[in-house]
Each structure stands twice: as structure tokens, then as C-alpha cells.
Amino acid sequence: MQTSFTPEQLADPKVAEAEAILRKCVHCGFCTATCPTYVTLGNELDSPRGRIYLIKDMLENGRDADAEVALHVDRCLSCLACTTTCPSGVDYMHLIDQARVHVEETYRRPLADRFIRGLIARTVPYPGRFRLALRLARLGRPFAGLLAKLPGLKPLAAMIALAPKSLKPKPDLPPGGLFRAEGERKGRVALLAGCAQSVLDPGINGATVSLLTRLGIEVIMPKGEGCCGALTHHMGREDEASEQARHVVDTWMAEIEGKGLDAIVITASGCGTVIKDYGHLFRHDAAYRDKAAKIAGMSVDITQYLATLDLPQKPGNGVVVAYHSACSLQHGQKVVNEPKALLKKAGFTVKEPAEGHLCCGSAGTYNMLQAEISEKLKARKAKNIAALQPRLVATGNIGCMTQLSTALSVPVLHTVELLDWAYGGREPEKINQNHLM
């Protein structure tokens, strides 16, 4: 793509980066075939190629974002299916990230939109506040229908619909805990406690600790870790995201320098994609550049780490598992084969749904802020999964779990929960409740 930025504009390293990304695009349109919003809406401006044109025009002309740009940038899921498809290697992730920041800094959203986004940013990344918000959501259920009819408050109705009817007990794995390996210690890792996941499904971290310690891996959950910044990062709130990320970097560096770590294990792939990109996030921050790059290099998805361990082959158990590959895992981190191979090794029969490259519509805050598109994507994904007639669904991201659980009649679990169970851990509560085994 030809660009016409001025030398003065290119003196800004962010603009220079955007220009280099834009120049790689050759207008081929391959991205349109795998973009969930284009497939759903059929609007060129809701495809990566269309958004690239909008972003180019906005940045080249040095103008503020307007309502149209905000609309189409907001509709992007950041699923990154386009990056997997793109033959030219366009770094769409960092371009759309920059566009989101530009929108937040230069466009004044309608009051209701500002309120909703501020509410999410000040609630979800904080487990205590998030737990309280979910309790309040139960009180709001009778009013969900009314809220859904009010354009500016539709996201509140979506939040209420997604909120679980009952909350699980607080995790019995308090941050700051050290969980010693059973038998000879073969490794030591830090485990991301997470924010939303620790409230919505604390059993995921419980299963991770259970499995790793039985395999001889010592696990530390650092005290005061906090949110990794993924949620606010995807909302374009750059300063908030960077502040949260710096705190996480400092917390984990203290562990590395104190007792040493082999890896930082992450069970929420949406978080993992952002944490693995910390080196890029802090590339212009002299105080954090090297530390952030080190953390990014040590961070692995739980299935990546388990794939390095010597897990035995288990006999087939006859349980058909539909594996839903979270976008942040398959497109964002390029972790594709490890989860399926581990499930098969554990004795499960693994099937993959049609259109596995398409997003389920969760995408962080997307199912709240873009509920109508999200619902269409969820229905499409659920139909493809149900066609497999699975007894269980496995995935690697809490957002996908929450999204799909509202559309499927079979339990949706994290991959590590099934692996822990297969290798001697406790039967997951969802399986016991459904009397499947």
C-alpha cells in the first residue's frame, strides 16, 4: 500500500511503525474471508482491509477519529484471524491497537458509551469489585429486557445476561501462595492468578496447581500481582494498561530475581497474548523495556508448558471432546497443536468444529459492547460445535467458556481441567453436576 506520510510525521516512532505496517498491505482481500465481522455484516469497512484504509486516512491526514472510524474500529474483535490468513505478513494487531488508542484520545464518545466503558475498566480487572458487580447483576435481571430496548444501555443488558446465576466460592488458592511439588522438584513456575477468571471460574487455577504439583512442578502465585492490563489495552486505554502491566512486570521480576523461575504459566489465553507482547508494549520505555521483554519471553500458555513435560499416554476413555480453539491462542499466540495433542494423549477423542478459525464472539469486552454481532457469532459457533455431538467442550480462555456456556447444553471446561482429571485430579464440578460419567 502506498503511503504519503511527511518526514515530520515519521519522526514519531508510533507513526513510523504504522506506516511500515500499512506498506505491507497489498489489498489482496484474503483477510475478508476469515474476518468474523465481514463474514457476518458484509461491509468492506468491517473487514481488516477496510479498517486499514480508514486508519491510513486518519493517520496520514493527522485528523481526530470521528464517529464512523470509531464504529468500525470498535467492531473489530481483535481475533487476529486476518494475521493468520495474510500472505504479506501485515502486523494488523499493532495497527488496530494503535487505532484504538487514537480513537480514545481524540474522539469524544456519547455519554452512555463513556459510562459503560469506564464501568467495565474500573470493575472487571479488580476481583473484589467484579465479584460485587456480578452479585448486583442478579438484582438487575428483571430489568434486562427494558435495558436492551434503550440503545445507550444495551451493553448493561448484555452484562446482566452474561453474569452467572450463582458465584463459585472464592478460590482456595490465595495469591501469595507457594504450592510445593510432590516428590522430587523438577521445576518452578509462577502462575498468573488473573482477575476475571479468578472470580468466574477459580477451579481453573486450582486444576493447574493440582496437575503441576503432581508432576513435580512447584507453583508460586505472587502476592499483589493484579491485572495484566489486557482488558484496558484492548479498549485503547493505553495509560491504564501500561500502569497495570508495569505492576505485573515488577511483581514477577521480584520472583525471578529472588528464587528463580523456569516459566510464567498463563491459563487465560487472552491475557497470554498481551503478556507475550509486553516487549512491544514497552519498547519505548527505557526503564521497563528489558524487564518487559524478559517477562514476555518467559511467558507460556499452560498447554505449551505441559507439552514440555513427560505426560504418559492414557488409554482411550470414550469421551468425545469438541475442542474450541480460542482466537487469542490459535491466532494471537500461534498455539494450535499442543492442546489437542495433550487431550488425545490423556485418552479423550478430540473433534474440531467446522469454521474453527472464526471467533465465538467473546473477545474480551466485545460480547458486552457489541452484543448483537457477538450473539450472531456465538450462535454460529454453537451450531458448529453441537453438530459434533460432543459430551464435553474444551477451550483455553475464560471468555470463550463464559460465552459458549450460555449457548450449549454440554459442559464447557478449560483444557487443563480435563487434563488434571485424566491424570488423577478431582473430577470437574461441571461434569459431576451433569452426571455425564
Tens digit of pLDDT for each residue in 154-183? 787 887 877 777 777 765 665 568 899 999
Q: Across residues 275-299, what is the average pLDDT?
A: 96
Confidence of residue 192 (pLDDT cuts 50, 70, 90): very high
pLDDT value of position 246: 96
Confidence of residue 435 (pLDDT cuts 50, 70, 90): very low
pLDDT value of position 305: 98
Q: Across residues 259-270, what is the average pLDDT?
A: 92
For residue 136, pLDDT over 50 is answered with: yes
Tens digit of pLDDT for each residue in 299-347? 999 999 999 998 999 999 889 999 999 999 999 999 999 999 999 999 9
Which one has a higher pLDDT value, 98 or 135? 98
Q: Across residues 383-389, what is the average pLDDT?
A: 97
Confidence of residue 153 (pLDDT cuts 50, 70, 90): confident
Domain ranges of the chain: 7-106, 111-162, 178-306, 320-434
pLDDT value of position 143: 75
pLDDT over 90, % of the chain = 76
CA end-to-end span of the chain:
56
pLDDT value of position 135: 85
Taking a C-beta distance cutoff of 8 angstroms, is the pair 289, 282 a contact? Answer: yes
Range 178-306 classified under CATH 3.30.460: no
CATH architecture of 7-106: Orthogonal Bundle (1.10)
pLDDT over 70, % of the chain = 97
For residue 437, pLDDT over 60 is answered with: no
pLDDT value of position 415: 98
pLDDT value of position 262: 93
pLDDT value of position 177: 84
Confidence of residue 133 (pLDDT cuts 50, 70, 90): confident
For residue 259, pLDDT over 80 is answered with: no
Which one has a higher pLDDT value, 326 or 224? 326
pLDDT value of position 270: 95
Q: Domain 320-434 belongs to what topology?
A: Rossmann fold (3.40.50)
The angle formed by the CA atoms of residues 339, 405 and 437, to the nearest 5 degrees, is 70
Q: Across residues 401-430, what is the average pLDDT?
A: 94
Task: Decide whether 7-106 matches 178-306 in CATH topology.
Answer: no
Q: Across residues 228-241, what is the average pLDDT?
A: 94
